[in-house]
Amino acid sequence: MNNIKVALVHDWLTGMRGGEKCLEVFCELFPEATVFTLIHKKGSVSPTIEKMKIQTSFLQNIPGIFKNYRNFLPFYPAAVENFNLGGYDLVLSSSHCVAKGVNAPSNALHICYCYTPMRYAWKFFDEYFAGENKLKRWAISAAVKYLKRWDLRSNKKVDYFIAISDNVKNRIGEFYKREADVIYPPADIDAHAKLGKDEGFYLIVSALVPYKKVDLAVKVFNENGKPLIVIGSGPEFSRLQKESKSNISFRGWASDSELNDYYADCSALIFPGEEDFGIVPVEAQSHGKPVIAYAKGGALETIIPFSEELGMASGASATGVFFKEQTAASLKEAIETFEKNRSVFDPDIIRDNALKFNRGRFKREIREYIDSKWEFHVKKQLGKV
């Protein structure tokens, strides 16, 4: 794949979350590529991404865009379609919103690494916008109907989809009627990370937004009085903090080293939301810590559940406990199950499970996938297939 022109397309660059960690690997694979993105808040992502040639859309020039960029959702399709990708041979879109809708040249290969079909359009509208007033919800609903139509049309611009999980693969099949291959995203895993000790507190690491369901954990821990530390920030921070009793501590965002210490010293991670994949449970397991998680979404692919019915036989390989309903009663029961069976959770087995999702594996699998699709693309262009 020498001497080809590569475009990397990412929705927006405003912070280092799971998607940006994937983009960082793409930048390492293609350091001469151009990154196309709707908006870029300089200094908000890693040095590897910051040093790339980055081209933004017309949205970049709107005053105050970084505080209110989600309000411009109806303009995203036009912004991404306005990018000029003439002359590019390979387009790799990194998409959870509109990046996959970029207009690639007709003779280019377009591969989309898809975190999910647009969540607020297809599946989680109420979770995202439950707190808005009726007038704003009506306006957003009208915009989402347009976005759905555009999203269906634009997915046809993609030659191959890679999904971050079987969960997302199924959504791509359901909503887009397209096939997808699965390559799990990378987690920040150190095979030699300290396992720490149990300091007697439970841990949540999450953006504080409604669909993450942190309020569910607050309700349970207000009742049981057990220590809970919440790492994260977001629009729900003040409300959740006010509703919490003194046993619940909100620490804001933590540095990577601080976060590793929290993981290493907690009793278990609480994961009450439904995620497309979920990097946080993998990171917690890399420190040998069990995860108490809602039994839906990506958690089903990264956590080996303990079954109280099977007892020790299940615990021999278990890395967490599931609760089946997003209710306080169900979460409370899962915590009680964990506490009754703490001794069956082996930190070394838990960490071994996490190592399957390491960064080196992701980089190798992405490279091999792109190489194989590019080889087929070239043969097709030459009329050899």
Range from 48-52, 65-69, 85-89 carrying the lowest mean pLDDT: 65-69
How far apart are the C-alpha atoms of 53 and 33, rounded to whole Å?
A: 7
Mean pLDDT of 6-28: 95
- Per-residue pLDDT at 223: 97
Say if CB 266 and CB 202 are below 8 A apart: yes
How far apart are the C-alpha atoms of 46 and 174, rounded to whole Å?
A: 34
- Per-residue pLDDT at 145: 84
How far apart are the C-alpha atoms of 371 and 200, rounded to whole Å?
A: 48
Residue 194, pLDDT above cutoff 90: no
pLDDT digits (tens, 9 = 90+) for 230-260: 999 888 999 999 999 999 999 998 888 899 9
Residue 126, pLDDT above cutoff 60: no
Residue 315, pLDDT above cutoff 60: no
Residue 377, CA distances (Å) to 46, 89, 93, 107, 370 in order? 32, 10, 17, 9, 10
Range from 114-123, 153-162, 225-234 carrying the lowest mean pLDDT: 114-123
Range from 25-29, 76-80, 302-306, 309-313 carrying the lowest mean pLDDT: 309-313
- The confidence band for 209, taking pLDDT boundaries of 50, 70 and 90, is confident
- The confidence band for 318, taking pLDDT boundaries of 50, 70 and 90, is very high
Residue 280, pLDDT above cutoff 80: yes
pLDDT digits (tens, 9 = 90+) for 74-83: 899 999 999 9
Pairing assessment for the beta strands 248-252 and 291-294 based on DSSP bridges: unpaired
Residue 24, pLDDT above cutoff 70: yes
DSSP 3-state of 112 = strand
Residue 126, CA distances (Å) to 69, 123, 200, 235, 349 in order? 20, 8, 35, 16, 38
- Per-residue pLDDT at 173: 96
Range from 45-59, 159-173, 194-208 carrying the lowest mean pLDDT: 194-208
- Establish whether domains 6-186+358-381 and 202-357 are of one fold: yes
Mean pLDDT of 363-381: 95
How far apart are the C-alpha atoms of 192 and 190, rounded to whole Å?
A: 5
Say if CB 183 and CB 252 are below 8 A apart: no
More confident call, 133 vs 293: 293
Pairing assessment for the beta strands 268-271 and 228-231 based on DSSP bridges: unpaired
Residue 344, pLDDT above cutoff 60: yes
Residue 1, pLDDT above cutoff 90: no
Say if CB 59 and CB 78 are below 8 A apart: no
Mean pLDDT of 209-218: 93
Going by C-alpha positions, the residue among 347, 297, 360, 355 that lies closest to residue 319 is: 347
Q: Spell out the CATH class of 6-186+358-381.
A: alpha beta
Mean pLDDT of 63-76: 86
Residue with tokens 């079987």: 166
Contacts of 382 (CB under 8 A, 6+ apart): none
- The confidence band for 313, taking pLDDT boundaries of 50, 70 and 90, is very low
Residue with tokens 């555009």: 150
Mean pLDDT of 153-165: 95
Backbone angles phi, psi at 204, to 5 degrees: -125, 135
- E-strand ranges in the chain read 6-10, 34-37, 53-56, 90-95, 109-114, 160-163, 181-182, 202-205, 228-231, 248-252, 268-271, 291-294, 320-323
Single-letter residue type at 349:
I
Burial class (CB in 10 A: 0-12, 13-18, 19+), 74: middle
Mean pLDDT of 92-107: 96
More confident call, 152 vs 68: 152
Mean pLDDT of 278-285: 93
Where do the domains of the chain lie? 6-186+358-381, 202-357
Percent of the chain with pLDDT over 90: 75
How far apart are the C-alpha atoms of 322 and 339, rounded to whole Å?
A: 13
Greatest Cα pair distance, the chain, in angstroms, is: 69
- Per-residue pLDDT at 191: 64
Residue 193, pLDDT above cutoff 80: no
CATH architecture of 202-357: 3-Layer(aba) Sandwich (3.40)
- Per-residue pLDDT at 314: 56
How far apart are the C-alpha atoms of 239 and 210, rounded to whole Å?
A: 11
Pairing assessment for the beta strands 248-252 and 53-56 based on DSSP bridges: unpaired
- The confidence band for 129, taking pLDDT boundaries of 50, 70 and 90, is low
Going by C-alpha positions, the residue among 18, 350, 4 that lies closest to residue 164 is: 18
